[in-house]
A and B are shown apart, each in its own frame.
Chain A
Amino acid sequence: MSYLNLSGIQKRFPNGFVAVHGFDLSMEKGEFVSFLGPSGCGKTTTLRMIAGFERPTTGSVVLDGTDITDRPPNRRNVGMVFQAYALFPNMTVADNIGFGLRVRKRDKASIAKRTAELLELIGLPGTGDRYPWQLSGGQQQRVALARALAFEPQVLLLDEPLSALDAKIRVSLRAEIRAIQRALGITTVYVTHDQEEALSLSDRIVVMSEGRIEQIGTPFEIYNFPKTPFVARFVGTLNVLNARVVDATAGRLDVGGQEMLATGAVDTAAGSTVSLALRPEILTLGDGEPGHVRLRGTVDEVTFLGAVVRVRIKLPGDAGVASVDTFNNPHLAVPARESAITFSFPAEACLILDGAGRDAVTAAATAI
């Protein structure tokens, strides 16, 4: 039986806006799950329903076999880390960390011991007497994490905890968060709109859009086998090309006047348009290896980015534009604008997305 179970969760606000639709998720003990999606997709609202700050309109939240849907937040034993740290400015670091334990009326000696342990764990020993404003943003967020962990909650919730920090600290702190989570084995829900964060931290990712779950899967599955066009577009960078279905059963497609063959049948009528999704890292300039799909276009723009040269290639007709990143090589000439160019990609790496529907068709394509 799963440790944290959210079933049929819906949240309708008094103004009629439905923030979350039919959300179902089962988490195992010790699992690290990220809610990933753009602003307004309902990820924070779902997190807040687990924390108890919002009540679901329908559905239930069950934690370790106990229904906590109607429990107030202070009686859930769920720790939370906020984007804005939310440290108590009137208290020292040690008092902040020990707050949850004092509320639970633990004795002073055990509070001091636990506080010292956590300060050690977050790499800030000796800062117990300082006030939050005497610490940097990264240090404050570490303290907030220690405070949320101090009373040994059953679930740890993190609401975009790294958003307010600069890029360098974000990367180092997210590794620390993951290491601490692994060391303590605490079940964790992490909300972020940063795909890199979600991909690097999570055991599983829940990709959300407009209040619905688009896909639940491991980072590998989410990145490599997106189930919906939204996931394909949202996670990672993606080249999306328009193709016309020539023969749905045979999987023949037309990309700007160039035919290519999908390995399987395409679940769309002939004559309709589908989207081809291509990760930029699989594209190479030139003919590539035998069996690769080759497409021709004209160079629209060349951007020199130092180690990388980005070439934007416009395909004929309304097929779209593909961006190809190649490593800078001083011995090779940079392609000139408006010149004809060929790029290629391994056939199996091309995803065929349904034109407008929510369900994606994933199929490999081969050159004709």
Chain B
Amino acid sequence: MTGSINRPPQMLEALTHHPPGRPRRPGPRGLQRKTLASWLFLLLGIAYFALPLVGTLIFSLRAKPMLSAWTDMINDPQVWSTLGYSFAIGVVTITVSIVLLVPTAFWVRLRLPRLRPVVEFVTLLPFVVPPIVLVFGLITTFSQPPLPLTGTNFGSDVLLVCAYVILSLPYMYRAVDAGLRTIDIQTLTEACQSLGAGWATILWRVILPNLRVSILSGAFLTLAIVVGEFTIANFLARPMFATYLQQISGNLAYQPAAVALMSFGITWGAMGVIALVGRGNQGRIEIGGAH
């Protein structure tokens, strides 16, 4: 480019000189270097997350015979019963959270916007109060009259669900609230009302469907919390998956690694479902909590 002998020096300078303040476009070499750096960081990131999993997988395969940790896990009825129980508690927790939080977040946004900071603060309390404090508070309060819930399995299940609803509050509320932010609920609500709809119809047929992805996002986070939570389940003596995992970790070497990997797989599966549902919405409704 600069080899042209007929061009005056000013023009050559103008062609080769980069004006101040303007970002210089990287040349082919610069571009290559940047691409390499990007790949390097990506690989580092993947390694950070993947290496422990690969290590766990390799460890689980050290058992003799090689797949015995996995076959033992599959054949252990306790894996499935605790997993089933955890999922059942998770589903109930999610249902209670939706029933409680969707109307609350909707009403706060629609009619009580001044209360939003207060509600947000309350939903963040589970980050401040550790599960151990929460469970001791629950046991102390509900192990004696007038509500001796810890006396029965059903009562303990109720306490467990209540505790998990509180634990998942920040995630679920924020997911729903973020979803509400993406739609003009004021106008949609008024449009529904002008068409003759009552509050139940508005929530069920318009607000909830438009929060589908946000609610799913919050629901899977809640499920992940419930399936992985140990402290509360242990102190309430409920047969949750996390307590089972802790039990077998003391006795067996390789099977816990296989079980842990399986729980990762379930979580990834859940995330995959979110991605699929999100794609079904043509990208119009963003996943709640991602804002």
Instruction: Choose one: A53, A148, A157; the contact of B193 (CB below 8 Å).
Output: A53
Alpha-carbon gap, A338 to B194, bound state (A)? 59
- For residue A3, which residues in chain B have a CB less than 8 angstroms away from its CB? none
On whether the beta carbons of A90 and B195 are closer than 8 Å, the reply is no
* In the complex, A84 has a CB within 8 A of chain B: yes
Of residues 76 through 114 on chain A, the ones whose CB sits less than 8 Å from some CB of chain B are 76-80, 82, 84, 86-90, 99-100, 103-104
Of residues 254 through 291 on chain B, the ones whose CB sits less than 8 Å from some CB of chain A are 282, 284-285
The interface bits of chain A over 36-55 (1 if a CB of B lies within 8 angstroms of the residue's CB, else 0) are 00000000000000011100
Alpha-carbon gap, A133 to B194, bound state (A)? 22
- For residue A79, which residues in chain B have a CB less than 8 angstroms away from its CB? 194-195
- For residue A157, which residues in chain B have a CB less than 8 angstroms away from its CB? 194
- For residue B190, which residues in chain A have a CB less than 8 angstroms away from its CB? 51, 53, 73, 80, 82, 86
- For residue B194, which residues in chain A have a CB less than 8 angstroms away from its CB? 51, 73-74, 76, 78-80, 148, 157
- For residue B197, which residues in chain A have a CB less than 8 angstroms away from its CB? 74, 99, 103
On whether the beta carbons of A74 and B191 are closer than 8 Å, the reply is no
Alpha-carbon gap, A72 to B198, bound state (A)? 10
Q: Residue on B with the closest CB to A153? A: B194
On whether the beta carbons of B210 and A90 are closer than 8 Å, the reply is yes
- For residue B196, which residues in chain A have a CB less than 8 angstroms away from its CB? 74-75, 77, 100, 103-104, 151
Alpha-carbon gap, A13 to B278, bound state (A)? 41
Q: Residue on A with the closest CB to B193? A: A73
Q: Provided the pairs A89-B183, A100-B196, A133-B282 are in contact, do residues A82 and B206 lie with their beta carbons within 8 angstroms?
A: no
Alpha-carbon gap, A88 to B189, bound state (A)? 10
Instruction: Choose one: A52, A86, A90; the contact of B187 (CB below 8 Å).
Output: A86
Task: Say how far B280's CB is from chain A's closest CB, in angstroms.
Answer: 11
* In the complex, A142 has a CB within 8 A of chain B: no
Alpha-carbon gap, A78 to B194, bound state (A)? 6
On whether the beta carbons of A133 and B284 are closer than 8 Å, the reply is yes
On whether the beta carbons of A100 and B193 are closer than 8 Å, the reply is no
* In the complex, A296 has a CB within 8 A of chain B: no
Q: Residue on A with the closest CB to B282? A: A133
- For residue A11, which residues in chain B have a CB less than 8 angstroms away from its CB? none
- For residue B188, which residues in chain A have a CB less than 8 angstroms away from its CB? 86, 88
* In the complex, B184 has a CB within 8 A of chain A: yes
* In the complex, B209 has a CB within 8 A of chain A: yes
The interface bits of chain A over 155-167 (1 if a CB of B lies within 8 angstroms of the residue's CB, else 0) are 0010000000000
* In the complex, B201 has a CB within 8 A of chain A: yes
Alpha-carbon gap, A148 to B191, bound state (A)? 9
Instruction: Choose one: B184, B193, B195, B212; the contact of A151 (CB below 8 Å).
Output: B195
Task: Say how far B108's CB is from chain A's closest CB, in angstroms.
Answer: 18
Instruction: Name the interface size band of chain A.
Output: 20 to 34
* In the complex, A147 has a CB within 8 A of chain B: yes
On whether the beta carbons of A84 and B183 are closer than 8 Å, the reply is no
Instruction: Name the prevailing secondary structure of the B interface residues.
Output: helix
Instruction: Choose one: B198, B205, B209, B212; the contact of A74 (CB below 8 Å).
Output: B198
Instruction: Name the interface size band of chain B.
Output: 20 to 34
- For residue B198, which residues in chain A have a CB less than 8 angstroms away from its CB? 74
Of residues 194 through 238 on chain B, the ones whose CB sits less than 8 Å from some CB of chain A are 194-198, 201, 205-206, 209-210, 212
Task: Say how far A274's CB is from chain B's closest CB, in angstroms.
Answer: 45
On whether the beta carbons of A82 and B187 are closer than 8 Å, the reply is yes
- For residue B205, which residues in chain A have a CB less than 8 angstroms away from its CB? 99
On whether the beta carbons of B195 and A100 are closer than 8 Å, the reply is yes
Alpha-carbon gap, A178 to B164, bound state (A)? 57
Of residues 140 through 178 on chain A, the ones whose CB sits less than 8 Å from some CB of chain B are 147-148, 151, 157
Of residues 20 through 77 on chain A, the ones whose CB sits less than 8 Å from some CB of chain B are 51-53, 72-77
- For residue A53, which residues in chain B have a CB less than 8 angstroms away from its CB? 190, 193
- For residue A78, which residues in chain B have a CB less than 8 angstroms away from its CB? 194
On whether the beta carbons of B206 and A52 are closer than 8 Å, the reply is no
Alpha-carbon gap, A211 to B66, bound state (A)? 83
Task: Say how far B289's CB is from chain A's closest CB, in angstroms.
Answer: 19
Task: Say how far A339's CB is from chain B's closest CB, in angstroms.
Answer: 48
Looking at B183, B192, B284, which has the most chain A CB atoms within 10 Å of its CB?
Answer: B192
On whether the beta carbons of A89 and B284 are closer than 8 Å, the reply is yes
Q: Residue on B with the closest CB to A100? A: B195
On whether the beta carbons of B206 and A90 are closer than 8 Å, the reply is yes
- For residue A104, which residues in chain B have a CB less than 8 angstroms away from its CB? 196
Q: Residue on B with the closest CB to A104? A: B196
Alpha-carbon gap, A78 to B198, bound state (A)? 15
Alpha-carbon gap, A103 to B184, bound state (A)? 21
Task: Say how far B183's CB is from chain A's closest CB, in angstroms.
Answer: 7
20 A-B pairs, CB-CB below 8 angstroms?
Answer: A51-B190, A73-B190, A73-B194, A74-B192, A74-B193, A74-B197, A75-B196, A82-B187, A84-B184, A84-B187, A87-B191, A88-B188, A88-B192, A88-B210, A89-B210, A90-B210, A99-B197, A100-B196, A133-B282, A151-B196
**A89-B285, A99-B192, A151-B195 known; 19 other A-B pairs, CB under 8 Å?**
A53-B193, A73-B194, A74-B194, A74-B198, A77-B196, A78-B194, A79-B195, A80-B191, A82-B191, A84-B187, A86-B188, A87-B191, A89-B210, A90-B209, A100-B196, A103-B195, A104-B196, A148-B195, A151-B196
In the A-B complex, list the 9 residue pairs whose CB atoms are closest, starting with the nearest. Answer: A100-B195, A86-B191, A90-B209, A80-B194, A73-B193, A86-B187, A103-B196, A74-B193, A103-B197
